[in-house]
Amino acid sequence: MAQDARRQEASPRPEAERPLVEIEGLRKSFAFRPVLRGIDLSLRAGERLALLGANGAGKTTLLRILACLTRPTAGHALVAGLDCVHDAQEVRRLVGFVAHQPYLYEELTALENLLFFARMYGVARGRERALLLLERVGLARRARDRVGSLSRGQLQRLALARALLHGPRLLLLDEAETGLDEAGTALLSTLLAEHMAEGGTLILTTHRPEFALQQADRLVMLKDGRIVYHETVAGLELAQVRRAYQEVVG
């Protein structure tokens, strides 16, 4: 009952008008040290947001809350009207996360990993989907190799395949371009374009203003756990974004 009341309170809007992501008054502290100090942010379905900021600004923490991997200290984070704390199980089905750590089992092969996650997410025709994604990320030939034997960039490609396996509505990328070669970066752009064409929504973190400008519709910069810059990309020049970024991280 209390939980229902809380959801009502956090979600007063009719479904059709609702943003896909609603973040209100979000705070997170680790051992009383504040890391997020009151974030308000919303994204409509089909939007792409880039988060920038210095090391330690709180970007990963924000993504981890949306991926239900850590709980906020205060405030709400909702995905499709579902609360990342109280409805974590349902939210996880809607979210794909490429994190710093690949979240893969080293002793299993690339294919076994994807089959495991396909089962976990209840993906229909999981084997077909896993093989298709391995092909798409250029790892078809490594399908039967142990994950522990893959290079960093190959792991990153496999992590991307794992995140896309269940067709997430919201894709979260934490510096996913790091470690990819030129072909890998082009592949990432293609997969992101496909995710968006299928009606997906995207939040990515990056330290590269030019990547943010290419891949996002809106830019948000965090400093010490607060939003200090929030602009739509239309009409923005790379030089302006670089300047703002330097001011924020400097």
Q: Does 35 bind ligand ATP (CB under 6 A)?
A: yes
Q: Does 209 bind ligand ATP (CB under 6 A)?
A: no
**Maximum Cα–Cα distance across the chain:** 52
- Contact with ligand ATP (CB under 6 A) among 59, 129, 195, 218: 59
Q: Does 72 bind ligand ATP (CB under 6 A)?
A: no
Judged by CB under 6 A, which stretch of 53-61, 190-198, 213-221, 230-238 contacts ligand ATP?
A: 53-61
Q: Does 184 bind ligand ATP (CB under 6 A)?
A: no
Q: How far is the CB of 99 from ligand ATP (least distance, A)?
A: 10
Q: How far is the CB of 61 from ligand ATP (least distance, A)?
A: 3
Q: Does 101 bind ligand ATP (CB under 6 A)?
A: no
- Contact with ligand ATP (CB under 6 A) among 53, 102, 126, 168: 53
Note the residues at the interface with ligand ATP (CB under 6 A): 30, 35, 53, 55-61
